[in-house]
Chains A and B, each alone.
Chain A
Amino acid sequence: MTPSERIALAVALLASSAVWLGVTGTPGQGQDTVKSHMNRAAGLAAWQQLYSVMSSPRCIDCHTASAYPQQGDNRHRHLFNVVRGPDGHGVAALQCATCHQSANADSTGVPGAPGWHLAPLSMKWQDASDNILPSAAVCKTVADRSKNGGLDGAAIVRHHQTELVQWAWKPGLRNDGAPRSVPPIGYEEFMKATRRWVSAGMPCPQ
């Protein structure tokens, strides 16, 4: 089932709930409740689309819980003893920028985008054993302003428009010349889902 089909199914299920609520509640309250439930369901469906992107290698590789980033679709530990450092930009003489520049270097296979760095530990989307956290846990870190760098909904939308986030859909070539994989949905769909999730109040699965 495609993400769009999942959203349609969720809305249809809520519509059938709406009929039931309309019968049992007071007319005004019922309609408000239905609207709220439908909005939340649409928001949750949008969140699942965001999660499908955030848990893909192009994003999750730098949202580790460890002292190092990961590389590749198999998320192996970054080669060359690269470490997180005090601010997620590496250490004094071995920074992210020691290799990663402001754009992909396809002639050598080194990816790059402005501001290349590891997400802070408060935005880790993996556990200490490098397992990807479940949807609900990732959602909480993204929605929680005490963990996400103080971003409200509008700021999250803007964050998703940065060149570093957009890099996930333009990741360049690996050093064997093959293209890197991209997230499971396109960037436009990702942005639409971001706006739907934000306008629904950034709901998270239980």
Chain B
Amino acid sequence: MQTFKFTVNGKQRQVTADPGTPLLWVLREDLKLTGTKYGCGISACGACTVHVGGIATHSCVLPISLVGNRPIVTIEAMSQDAIGRIVQESWVEDDVVQCGYCQSGQIMSAVALLKSISSPTDKDIEESMGGNLCRCGTYVRIRQAIKKAAAQLPKGGR
């Protein structure tokens, strides 16, 4: 067991865990941030997506020992993030969610996409969201909500 210090949603946190423990379990079990979901455990579904150092990251395959000093942001902080809030509001307006299990991961990837590309094309959305599966098939509404959110963002980048 080792002690690790890192920043989650702007707060310094410290946990003692086996170095190989996936970040997902540290978030859920140690820090009780249960908005991030366990789906497949092999990086195949994206339900566990968080931002690590600004990059959408599948936390189920990231050992805590490799986080280093990169800040972690989870779904719990999205309502305080300018783009995150717009995306969440679009999600609600378009009634995207069905069962909802994958949606925190979907939103984290959508926010990462919009932080990089403020006016994504259909291809951009397909490629960037390709790592996030939804068994309820909400893809059409996800795309619609991303476009609605993009329309509200200040333009400047791509």
Nearest B-chain residue to A79, judged by Cβ: B44
Q: Using Cβ atoms and an 8 Å threshold, which residues of chain B touch A97?
A: 55, 57
Contact B60 A108 (CB under 8 A): yes
Q: Which listed residue (B58, B110, B112, B128) contacts A99, Cβ 8 A?
A: B58
**A80/B56 in contact, CB under 8 A:** no
Contact A92 B124 (CB under 8 A): yes
Main secondary structure of the interface of A (DSSP, over half): loop
In the complex, chain A residues 80-116 whose Cβ is within 8 Å of any chain B Cβ = 80-83, 85, 91-95, 97-99, 101-103, 105-110, 112
Q: Which of A83, A102, A110 contacts B43 (CB 8 A)?
A: A110
B114 CB to nearest A CB, Å: 8
Give A51 Cβ to nearest chain B Cβ, in Å: 32
Residues B43-87 near A (CB distance < 8 A): 43-44, 49, 55-58, 60-63, 66, 68
A67 to chain B, nearest CB (A): 9
A161 in the interface (beta carbon within 8 A): no
Most chain-B CB neighbours within 10 Å: which of A98, A102, A107, A109? A98
A103 neighbours in B (Cβ, 8 Å): 66
Interchain CB contact under 8 A, B63 and A105: yes
A162 CB-CB contact with B under 8 Å = no
Tell me which residues across on chain A come within 8 A of B44, comparing CB atoms: 79-80
Q: Which of B84-140 contact A (CB under 8 A)?
A: 109-110, 112-113, 115-117, 120, 124, 127-131
Chain A interface (Cβ < 8 Å from any Cβ of B): 79-83, 85, 91-95, 97-99, 101-103, 105-110, 112, 175
